[in-house]
Amino acid sequence: MAREAVYQQTAPDDPGDVPPKVPLSGGSSGEQEPNDRDGELRPRRLDEMVGQRDVIERLKIAIDAARGRGEPLGHILFDGPPGLGKTTFATVIPAEMGTTVQMANGAGLSAPKDLLPYLTNVSERSVLFIDEIHRVPKAVEEYLYTAMEDFRIDIVLGEGVNARTLNFELQPFTLIGATTRAGMLSAPLRDRFQIREHLGWYTEDQLCELVIRNARKLKIQTDQPAASEIARRSRSTPRLANNRLHWVRDYAQIKAKGNVTIGVARDALDMIGIDRLGLDKQDRNYLQTLIRVFQGGPSGLEAIAHTMNVSSDTLEDEVEPFLLRSELIVRTRRGRLATNKGFEHMKMQPPAA
């Protein structure tokens, strides 16, 4: 009775406020996927995934062991750059476990009451996925501690001297957290994840395989050279490869009767300003500004941002990471410097020594 009474006092008045459980075994495809463009391309099982093989092998062992014991899978934390498959893992793992998943975003959990509907709706061995978990406030984070460790939460009813605390027992569940900034997680929360996996960049061959598989799903007539061209311009990131593939499909449908050849792929990607290294217009504008205005540097980020009329946060978070990874620029104490590779890519000569 205590469990029922607590739920009645804490559940939202509008049933529509209760986050739905998303079944991953059976049901319609609309129920199985987050509402994003990648839904139609998202794998359903671990064996369907491309890349991250070391992560997949470790997860298979953990999943098989948990199923063998009839226990929930240990809590999992995925970290890594955007677009590498964190959400895909969060949908595939429940399918492997034969259970359901609820999805939340850390930015939307501003207070413990926002988390409560999710926790009260977990079923035994189900999964709660929190994307951008580094954005969860401290008060909500502390609320997760007992939920993760003891599968219970403490609910305070009333205020002042009339306040009382009720213990609400939860069904044993698995929390999957995803973050692009693992360093922003507090140590107590980070240590409560039994499994922690870092997702790395994809190779060109892996992305080529991904493009070929997804082209079949989209019923696109393509060939290996065209898939390789799309993969080469996708910055080692599956999400970008899928985005590029969608655009190439649209272009081919209008310009090439739906047939994707390497020439069609190049023309399509050139049209939206994606060059052979995967740089877009803003990336090249950054390099051009650094080289033409600041003679290749060193230059401060703020100076480059003001010259381009772009916020420094945009450059630091969206533009520079790929330029640094591609060895087109370097960051020093004195500022940003264009490398010889950067000059060559922009077909510009380095200043005389």
**Does 180 qualify as catalytic in the annotation?**
yes
Q: How far apart are CA 23 and CA 1, in angstroms?
A: 28
User: Do the Cβ atoms of 125 and 43 come closer than 8 Å?
Assistant: no
Six token digits for residue 63? 């999943």
Catalytic pick among 100, 125, 131, 190: 131
Q: What is the dihedral of CA 114, 116, 117, 122, to 10 degrees?
A: 140
Catalytic pick among 21, 42, 87, 174: 87
Residues forming a β-bridge with 196: 77
Residue showing tokens 């019923």: 219
**Does 87 qualify as catalytic in the annotation?**
yes
The residues, any chain, with a CB within 8 Å of residue 103's CB and separated by 6 or more, are 19, 22, 34, 90, 129, 131
Catalytic pick among 86, 192, 232, 266: 86
In order of 291, 342, 350, the CA distances from 294 in angstroms are 6, 14, 11
Catalytic pick among 67, 135, 180, 196: 180
**Does 239 qualify as catalytic in the annotation?**
yes
Catalytic pick among 239, 244, 266, 336: 239
**Does 179 qualify as catalytic in the annotation?**
no
Q: How far apart are CA 174 and CA 237, in angstroms?
A: 27
- Sequence length of the chain is 353
User: Do the Cβ atoms of 77 and 89 come closer than 8 Å?
Assistant: no
The residues, any chain, with a CB within 8 Å of residue 233's CB and separated by 6 or more, are 244, 269, 274, 275, 276, 277, 278
Q: How far apart are CA 127 and CA 144, in angstroms?
A: 14
**Does 60 qualify as catalytic in the annotation?**
no
Catalytic center residues: 86-87, 131, 180, 239
